[in-house]
Chains A and B, each alone.
Chain A
Amino acid sequence: MRSLVVEISGKEGTRIERVAVNGSGLSIGRAWNSDIIIQDRFVDADHLHLRTNQQQQLLVDDVSSTNGSRLAGKTLRGSDQLYRFGDTLIIGDTRIKIFDADTSVAPASLRSQWFLLAEKFSSFRALMLLTMLAIVSQAAQVYSRSIEPLGLENFLLAAFSVVVLLLIWSLVLGFLAKLIRGESNFKAFWALGCLATVMLNLATLVLLVVRFNLQDVGLGEMLSMLVYGVFSVWLLAGMFSYTTHIHNRNKWLFSFLIAVSLYAISESDEYLKEPHKKWMSSTNTEQATLPPVFLMRRAVSLDEYQLAADALFEEQVSSD
């Protein structure tokens, strides 16, 4: 006597039955007195027989059916064929898989941290608050960047564009998530979008202050690349969590690879340039300029400055 689990997938969907097989075996077919009833018009009333042998192995036998049976891709011929658990049996339009009920199943998948994050902002109030935060951060960004006086309409436009972008972002990704993961996670995407907007604007502001104080265009560009790189990986990982089922480790790996390749594509032009194309008659210095309150760096005396500036001549000699 063995306890089995049978998974039957037909046109109407999948059902799972638990059956016990004893000495007399099991019958599979369309007949109402079959042990496992298959409602498929291409299946005979008595189509297949299952039984166990002395070694407790499962044997399968086609009872001269009209349309035949297939086991693991091959037509079932002769009686008492050995069945290995998990192999696919096809009769008519129906697929059957049989498992041993005693084997253990895989441990449950962990619901990722991303969903805990999404749950924190799942309430309407929390989402509204987050949306407001995103709008405010965007408005601040627009203000600090503009070199023209701004009116109310500029801020309204900023708010409107944030909402429209969030809507498009959440709908498109929600649709993808429904296709791939089976759930749309619309709210989660909205929360992620708001968080990303706030973080991006904050990072930009912090970078501006840091780069203004650094006044080193090479170092500044590297810093920006690093900050925006980490941000992109984080955002991509979030998108993968809500859209797909892929594992945690792969999620970060893929996000990293995508971020790196996007960066490589955008910068390849500059790296592949020949030296004479990189030549410029103008200077390339840090553009970031902020009001004096943001300056935290110690100012130098004219003598100190000149000493450092004079070192440029030596650099020139060594670079050529």
Chain B
Amino acid sequence: MKKKTNLGSMLSRLCQLACVSTLVVSLFGVSSFAQEIGATVSNSSTEQSSSRLGNQSFQNYYDQVYQIRVVSPKAGSKSSIGSGFQVSSDGLIVTNYHVVSSYVQAPENHKIEYQSHTGQKGALELLNFDVINDLAVLRHSSPSTKFLGFSDTILNKGETVYALGNPRDYGTSLVKGPNNGMVEHSYNDQILFSGSLNPGMSGGPAVNALGQVVGVNVATAGSQLSFLVPANNARQLVMDGRTIVKGDYQNEIARQIKQWQRPRIQQLLDQDWPVEQFSGLDLFGEIRKDFQCWGQTNESNKERNIASVSKNCSAGNSIYLDSSLSAGELYFSFDYASSVTLGDLQFTSAIRPWMSANNTSNYENSSNYRCHVDFLEGNKASQQFTRATTCIRSFKKLAGLYDSLLMIERIDGLHQFTTHLSVSALEADQISLLNRKFTEKSL
């Protein structure tokens, strides 16, 4: 069965695309973007006079933004750019993990550099990162005397937030927009910010009207839909004070993912899954607030040979590790198919069991799927069978983590009911338990 992409997963993929594209230096025409950014700048400058901070004082905040570049010495030029800001007198700089991800994945082939507003350049040292919240802490060799402080007050809905960063290497820009509170369908806290963040602004500070950091720019889903990491996460990472040893990056990523997944999955195992009807069956759907479900039928297709009703649900979080690797996706779907025109043999011929990973990966990062297939005991009275397929692949660099695909097909005469569960980057025991609960709940 081929999985269908729905709007929900499209949305999260869009975000992913945006995350990725922040790393890539623009290939688009200069003029079109100059227009876009020009509009942003004039917008902010005309409306700023009404805010507590005047144009004059905001000048200082522009100066606090550093451009962060990951340079590949072999290629002799930057391979990714982002923004960052200093948060302490001893030169700690906060940015996104994804801005420096190419360095984390291959430290031997990359260097991290900064460029200040004066054009001064220098080397940065990676101290700590948080792949779950997409943050990184770097150390500046010659710290500036000025730095930004974190906000202690609660950010209200509707409050204006000023995001700073260097979009596409055109120069530091300020984007103003309201805070819309936390993103709803997300397990992790993320601020929904209505302003256009552009590639290159990732890792830049988002400040309130008092000039205190309330978030870190992280991603966009396009047209004024942008996301910020809450300042508290960044503060915690800075306070943590740890320095991750260079050779230990992959172990640290594995540790962070395990630590994040353990309670996230345990909660799903412990809690009840509220019953939702699907095609007359007692099933489930949005089992937690981070899940979103979409349904579709092929009723509008008048020439269909098989009538199909399907529903798919996915959790809103995906951990970006590298342009070729993401982890942590949770996805499940139900599909009910009945023959309209086909006979027994033709109906089953049309079934091509097939599954594909929901997370991005490649040969460097994942093994091939290995599968186990068997028929499950069911109702012996009627003429039916239940086929179960479990496929597992491991992360080559992240020891102890696996992706799993589960599919259960029940064929009963001219009807077929298929359930599918796809999970990414879990430990073996949790995959086993989750697959079991899913199977029992959906049969």
Q: Shortest Cβ distance from A142 into chain B, in angstroms?
A: 11
The chain A residue with its CB closest to the CB of B347 is: A291
Contact with A along B391-435 (1 / 0, CB 8 A): 111101000001001000001100000000000000010011001
Q: Does A275 contact B (CB under 8 A)?
A: yes
The chain A residue with its CB closest to the CB of B432 is: A310
When chains A and B are docked, how far (Å) is the Cα of A319 from the Cα of B436?
25
When chains A and B are docked, how far (Å) is the Cα of A300 from the Cα of B370?
20
Contact of A316 among B351, B354, B393, B435 (CB under 8 A): B393
When chains A and B are docked, how far (Å) is the Cα of A308 from the Cα of B391?
12
**Contacts of A1 on B, CB cut-off 8 Å?**
none
Q: Does B72 contact A (CB under 8 A)?
A: no
Q: Is the CB of B389 within 8 A of A285?
A: yes
Q: Shortest Cβ distance from B176 into chain A, in angstroms?
A: 41
Of B125-133, B205-213, B373-381, the one contacting chain A is B373-381
Count chain B CB atoms within 10 A of each CB in A289, A290, A297 and give the residue with the most: A289
Q: Shortest Cβ distance from B202 into chain A, in angstroms?
A: 26
Q: Is the CB of A284 within 8 A of B348?
A: no
Q: Is the CB of A278 within 8 A of B385?
A: no
**Contacts of B349 on A, CB cut-off 8 Å?**
144-147, 289
- Report the interface size for chain B: residues with CB under 8 A from the other chain: 58
Q: Is the CB of A283 within 8 A of B389?
A: yes
**Contacts of A312 on B, CB cut-off 8 Å?**
370-372, 390-392
Contact with B along A297-319 (1 / 0, CB 8 A): 11111101110111111011101
Q: Shortest Cβ distance from B363 into chain A, in angstroms?
A: 4
Q: Does B35 contact A (CB under 8 A)?
A: no
**Contacts of B345 on A, CB cut-off 8 Å?**
143-144, 290-291
When chains A and B are docked, how far (Å) is the Cα of A215 from the Cα of B356?
19
Q: Does B361 contact A (CB under 8 A)?
A: yes
Contact of A291 among B348, B375, B391, B440 (CB under 8 A): B348
Q: Does B295 contact A (CB under 8 A)?
A: no
The answer to whether residues A313 and B402 also contact, given A149-B342, A291-B348, A293-B383 and a CB cut-off of 8 A, is yes
Q: Is the CB of A320 within 8 A of B394?
A: yes
Q: Does A41 contact B (CB under 8 A)?
A: no
Q: Shortest Cβ distance from B327 into chain A, in angstroms?
A: 13
Binding site for B on A (CB under 8 A): 143-149, 215-216, 275-276, 278-287, 289-293, 295, 297-302, 304-306, 308-313, 315-317, 319-320
8 further A-B pairs in the complex, CB-CB below 8 A; given A146-B349, A282-B354, A290-B345: A147-B349, A283-B355, A285-B391, A291-B347, A295-B375, A304-B374, A305-B376, A312-B372
